[in-house]
Structure 1
Amino acid sequence: MSLTIDIAGLSPERIVFAPSPLAELSAALHALAEPAHHPGLHSWTTTTACALKPELADRLQEADFLWRTTRSDMLLPPNPGATLTEDLDRLDELPEEQFVMAALEISCSAQYGTARPNPLHDGAERERTRERAAARGPAQAAFVERILADPPAVRAWLRRLFEDCEQAFFGDTWQRVRFQLAADARHKAELLRHKGLAEALAAVSPALTLDTERQQIVVDKLVTGRTSATQPGDRHGITFVPTAFGWPHLLVLHAPGWKPVVHYPVNSPELPRPQALDIVQLRLEAVAHPVRMKLCRTLARGAHTTGELATAYDITAPEVSRHMAVLKKAGLLSTRRRGRYVLHHLDLTAMARLGTDFLESVLR
């Protein structure tokens, strides 16, 4: 599975790297709503949540489906401003129908990326939207009713909410991270200019690659979708937005009618590099077999030969060799020769990261 972004004929000038205050605020709000996704931000989320005034905390809960499960498209500006006010001004310019569709994208739906009726005008879609919201609780159901009844009022309410967040905590946070994000964006832009798109994508994330034959950017995610960076008008191009709050998420705005946006976590020495999805799947399948689980138990305690493992578990040497081949192909095993014996070593670091790699894959 992967997401592809067509870039055939796209000039480098239409590939933009720029931080966005609104996108960073949405990432910060997501971290507050789902602190378990971001253990590295525990100190910030705890301190900020404790300092929130109850009235502001209640208002954030009213609209948290815009950033909790998934990130509303409206929160990833394709043309970022220098300040939150600029980003919010551009959000105010969003056509009403597009605003409503973005506001009601409340789950990681398999239908994302496909054209759907607008609930403002389609009765059946409106009822489906209400059902999805009701399943998430009365607060979200009530908020959806407000959006459907009076989109301009909700838009104004959201703007006030974001402005109050800036005053309460995000203003100081943005001042702390904006220089790091701007420096990262400049670095990626320089890589694009001097070494090409493939190098720039590799620096953004190992989950991004360039398919030069098909002229596509390929995003290694547990979704299947496609969009284009060569759409007409102001949707032409692609924007890469760095975030200090995003890891392990790598978000891609690829809904119909929107300019593609990639919201990526900035590189940090303490953050592990994400594993490719096929490697994660291969490793999970390798350790899922009951015999290989037993062999791993022994190998975790030290290196052993094929003969030793066969004797320990009363199986044939060829059968052990077949299991060792599966573990080695998955990158969980190495071998070294000692005289006429071959010793098998379990990669304990790779084994220890299996759970983390899986979690990063489903959250990416």
Structure 2
Amino acid sequence: MSLTIDITGLPPERLLFTPSPLAELSAMLHVLAEPAHHPDLHGWAAATTAAICPELADRLLEADFLWRSSRADFLVPGLPGASLADELDAVDRLDDETYAAASLVATCGSSRLSLRSRSPLADPAARERARDLALARGPRQAAFADRLLTDPPAVRARIRRLLEDCAEAFFADAWRQVLPGLAADARHKADLLARRGPAEALASISPAVAHHAEEAGPARIVVDKLQDNSTSAVGAGGVTFIPTAFGRPHLVVVYARGWRPVLQYPVAEPGLPEPVSLALVQQRLEALAHPVRLRLARTMARGAHTTGELAEAWQLTAPEVSRHLAVLRKAGLLSTSRRGRYLLHRLDLTTSGRLGADLLEAVLR
């Protein structure tokens, strides 16, 4: 499963790498709303939550569905500005219908696709449908949707004030700390793009991002996501890549019709493992799901064993054991060493121990 962005015919300079204060603020707000997604940031989330005044905390709760499970598209700008104020000014320039549609994507959840054909601001049936979808998500979403559909300018002003107050309360200090690293990462990837081309630049983002191109054929960016969707950057002027210090493990992609595709990617951190593809996670789970392979894994977790030893321990033939070992080896779950003329097989405890985290990261990606 993947998300595909068509970039056929786009020159490399249309792939833009740059930090975005608004996108980073939305990543921080997501961490505060869903700290369980970000165990490495528990300390920051706890300290920041404790320091926020009750009035601001209540306002954040009132609107947190704009960044909790998905992001309103205007929070991840296609053409980032030099400052948060510049980017908020750009959001202000969106017409009410575009702003409302982007907000309702987050407010109404996965059923939002039914809102695309008609404007809920202009069409009574679409408006009632949006209200029903929001009510199904919860009373706060329903109240927000009702206010947005009734008075879009008032809601837009309220959200801007909320974001500005967050900047004063905690974002400005955090942004000063992370901006140098984000800017350096963006420069590095832009340099890779100029010197080595899009394949290496995209590979440097994450193993979950790849460049697929055919000679005299289509070119695509493929993002390993637990979904099947596609969009095109050809008519949108390009693709924007925004580094984030607070976004791991998420790869946030804006791909709605009418928006410039944007990918917000976590900057690599020393000591943290690289993301594993969903296909490899599935392969490893299936390899361990077989009862015989699970028994063999239990034995090899306790020490290195030859094929003959494993066969004798579990009353299997050597060819049977070899076939099961081949499946585990192909999934990257075995390490093998030689002692004289014997091959010793051991379960890779590091890889196996990360399987749960890899699965969670792939699901959250």
TM-score (norm 2): 0.94
Unmatched segments (≥5 aa) in structure 1: none
Q: Distance in 2 between matches of 1:218 and 1:108?
A: 24
| Change over 3 Å in CA distance of 1:108–1:4 after alignment to 2 | farther
Q: CA deviation at 1:334?
A: 3.0
Q: Distance in 2 between matches of 1:26 and 1:269?
A: 24
| Change over 3 Å in CA distance of 1:225–1:113 after alignment to 2 | farther
The answer to whether the aligner puts 1:38 opposite 2:35 as a matched pair is: no
Q: Distance in 2 between matches of 1:253 and 1:59?
A: 25
Name the structure 1 match of 2:3: 3
Q: CA deviation at 1:112?
A: 5.6
Name the structure 2 match of 1:29: 29
Q: Distance in 1 between matches of 2:162 and 2:112?
A: 29
**SS of match in other structure, 2:110:** coil
Name the structure 2 match of 1:64: 64
| Change over 3 Å in CA distance of 1:205–1:114 after alignment to 2 | farther
After TM superposition, the structure 1 = structure 2 runs for residues 303-322 of structure 1, keeping only pairs within 5 Å, are 303-322=304-323
Whether the aligned pair in 2 keeps the contact of 1:113 and 1:254 (CA below 8 Å) is no
Q: Distance in 1 between matches of 2:133 and 2:289?
A: 35
Over the aligned positions, Cα root-mean-square deviation in angstroms equals: 1.8
Task: Specify which of 210, 219, 242 is matched with residue 215 of structure 1.
Answer: 219
After TM superposition, the structure 1 = structure 2 runs for residues 218-297 of structure 1, keeping only pairs within 5 Å, are 218-231=222-235, 235-297=236-298
Q: CA deviation at 1:42?
A: 1.3
TM-score (norm 1): 0.95
**SS of match in other structure, 1:104:** helix
Q: Distance in 1 between matches of 2:23 and 2:89?
A: 14
Whether the aligned pair in 2 keeps the contact of 1:334 and 1:347 (CA below 8 Å) is yes
Name the structure 2 match of 1:177: 178
Name the structure 2 match of 1:359: 360
Q: CA deviation at 1:111?
A: 6.2
Runs (4 or more) in structure 1 with deviation over 4 Å come to 110-115
**SS of match in other structure, 1:241:** strand
Stretch of structure 1 that moved more, 25-34 or 341-350: 341-350
Which letter does structure 1 place at the counterpart of 2:316? I
Which letter does structure 1 place at the counterpart of 2:122? H
| Change over 3 Å in CA distance of 1:108–1:318 after alignment to 2 | farther
Q: CA deviation at 1:136?
A: 2.9
Stretch of structure 1 that moved more, 32-41 or 130-139: 130-139
Q: Alpha-carbon deviations, 1:82-105, whole Å to 9, x = none?
A: 111000000001121111111011
Whether the aligned pair in 2 keeps the contact of 1:73 and 1:102 (CA below 8 Å) is yes
Unmatched segments (≥5 aa) in structure 2: none
Q: How many residues align?
A: 361
After TM superposition, the structure 1 = structure 2 runs for residues 23-172 of structure 1, keeping only pairs within 5 Å, are 23-106=23-106, 109=110, 115-172=116-173
Q: CA deviation at 1:114?
A: 9.6
| Change over 3 Å in CA distance of 1:140–1:134 after alignment to 2 | same
Whether the aligned pair in 2 keeps the contact of 1:249 and 1:265 (CA below 8 Å) is yes
Whether the aligned pair in 2 keeps the contact of 1:3 and 1:223 (CA below 8 Å) is yes
Q: CA deviation at 1:311?
A: 2.2
Q: Distance in 2 between matches of 1:223 and 1:32?
A: 25
Which letter does structure 2 place at the counterpart of 1:173? A
Q: Distance in 2 between matches of 1:119 and 1:57?
A: 29
Whether the aligned pair in 1 keeps the contact of 2:24 and 2:244 (CA below 8 Å) is yes
